[in-house]
Amino acid sequence: MTTKNEKVSKLKATKPELKEEKLKMLVYGDSGVGKTTAAIQFPDAYIFDCEHGTDAYTKTILKSNSVVLHTLNPDDIKDELTLLLTEDHNYKTVIIDPITHIYNSLQDKWSRIFGKHAKSEKEADLQDFGMRYWGRVKQDYKAIQRLLLQLDMNVIVISHQKDIYGAGFNKIGTGADTMKGEAYVYDFVFQLEKRGQQRVAIKIKERAEIGENKFPEEFEWSYPAFLKYYGSVLEKKAEPKKMATKDQIAKIEKLLEIANIPDETVNKWLTKADADEWGQFGYDQLQKCIDYVEKLLKEVR
């Protein structure tokens, strides 16, 4: 019980907990630099091969206790990532090679859908579907990003390299050939270069405590090097995450039909969970929402 002089704070922020995070990185480089060869050095990997880049490395993949799924279907990738997120397994690293094709596949998918429902033949031919089209592409793509970040696994997202141009179409550098803003999503971004017999990782971005960077500006790419710089957390077994159940989803939908919960509140829940729908919530996250609504209904009664 509080006294008259005591104040009850409504602030929700808490002190963060120190924890070891798995490696999440974007890697890009010019054609032929050996991006696939570099990535498959990571053992116990689940590899999404989108251009049959692993076909020449069967012995290496078998020796590394890794597996390969050949697919260009974004929906297949989302389904597999969901299983890797929620089921018990011994894979430690996810590799997508290359993400460029997945982004292009999503554009093709939504071009077919919008073309089928275009208002005119001219609109379908031009495939200029506007912001709604790009909104759908980004929504699907971000769903894949969300799953990758939720995984208790190391993540290596490989991209083709593209030239970047500034004013007057002058080349100002190179970058990853994927959705704009991709580099902001991951903790680390490396550009891969071939120098003689060496593959050199050039650090483009590192998200770290001030003065506590893990990687040097450049280093020879190898799995032992990543172990040295990043630590043994790379080899830690993945812990499955319990996601929202069908019963929970049905319950929150039914409760929201009864309770007068403002759309603004529901949108805050979705934003906090970084979700577009209830099925993307963790079990505990959605249970808190259910408990909140049930408590409100009891108070009204």
User: Letter for the amino acid at 211?
Assistant: G
Q: What is the DSSP letter of 282?
A: B
pLDDT digits (tens, 9 = 90+) for 213-224: 999 999 999 999
Give the model's pLDDT for residue 225. Answer: 97
Burial class (CB in 10 A: 0-12, 13-18, 19+), 16: exposed
DSSP per position, 60-75: HHHHTT-EEEE---HH
Give the model's pLDDT for residue 235. Answer: 96
3-class DSSP assignment, residue 121: helix
Give the model's pLDDT for residue 123. Answer: 57
In contact, 283 and 245? CB cutoff 8 Å: yes
Which segments in the chain show pLDDT lower than 70?
Answer: 1-9, 118-129, 301
Cα–Cα distance measured from residue 185 to residue 142, given in angstroms and rounded to the nearest whole number: 10
Cα–Cα distance measured from residue 218 to residue 215, given in angstroms and rounded to the nearest whole number: 8
> What residues contact 265, with CB distance under 8 A and at least 6 apart?
none
In contact, 68 and 54? CB cutoff 8 Å: yes
Q: What is the DSSP letter of 211?
A: T
Closest residue by Cα to residue 278 from 241, 300, 229, 245: 245
Cα–Cα distance measured from residue 205 to residue 24, given in angstroms and rounded to the nearest whole number: 12
Cα–Cα distance measured from residue 152 to residue 126, given in angstroms and rounded to the nearest whole number: 42
Give the model's pLDDT for residue 171. Answer: 87
| Structural domains present in the chain | 24-235 (3.40.50), 246-300 (no CATH)
Closest residue by Cα to residue 100 from 38, 154, 153, 162: 162
Question: What's the pTM?
Answer: 0.84
Cα–Cα distance measured from residue 128 to residue 107, given in angstroms and rounded to the nearest whole number: 12
In contact, 278 and 247? CB cutoff 8 Å: no
Give the model's pLDDT for residue 128. Answer: 64
pLDDT digits (tens, 9 = 90+) for 281-297: 989 999 999 999 998 88
